[in-house]
Amino acid sequence: MEHEPEWLRGLNKSRGEPYNTEGITMKTIIIEAAARAAHETNRAWCLAHGDTSQPAWEDAPEWQRSSALAGVQGVLDGNGPRESHACWLAEKAADGWKYGPVKDPEAKKHPCFVPYDELPPAQAAKDGIFVAVVRSVLVAGGLLT
């Protein structure tokens, strides 16, 4: 890492990358923290808009956590909100999801399964919020500048 935050200094290093006592790299911990923070922020945004369908990170199904982690990787690769949504859409399409007026994970239907420009403003805002939260955590963790 180019910039090593204060809390990382002095930790053991393996192959030049900081890690904790379980051998998990700090990069992995920071990426998961960014995914968790973005997921919980998205959950709060949904609750504020009357959507109670989002489980807490700990209760989220594997596909949902994996999707958030993929979104973090996209931000690391330079994605903004529009690109983030396009990647999410491609990931969902590859997994067999389709448009549906109501989110239904069992039927693999989602109301946001549309191009970014067709999203309702509140839904497009979620992509911007996701990217902003992820970037904030990654900058604080020294993975982005």
Write down the mean pLDDT value for the chain: 87
Confidence of residue 14 (pLDDT cuts 50, 70, 90): very low
Which one-letter DSSP state was computed for residue 95? T
Do 120 and 49 form a contact (C-beta atoms < 8 A)? no
Q: pLDDT tens digit string along 16-53?
A: 555 555 667 889 999 999 999 999 999 999 999 998 98
Please return the burial class of 140, using the count of CB atoms within 10 Å of its CB with bins 0-12, 13-18 and 19+: middle
Do 115 and 89 form a contact (C-beta atoms < 8 A)? yes
Residues 6+ apart with CB under 8 A from 115: 86, 89
Whole-structure pTM value: 0.81
Query: Does residue 124 surpass a pLDDT of 70?
Result: yes
d(CA 136, CA 30): 11
Domain extents for the chain? 6-140
Mean pLDDT of 50-76: 93
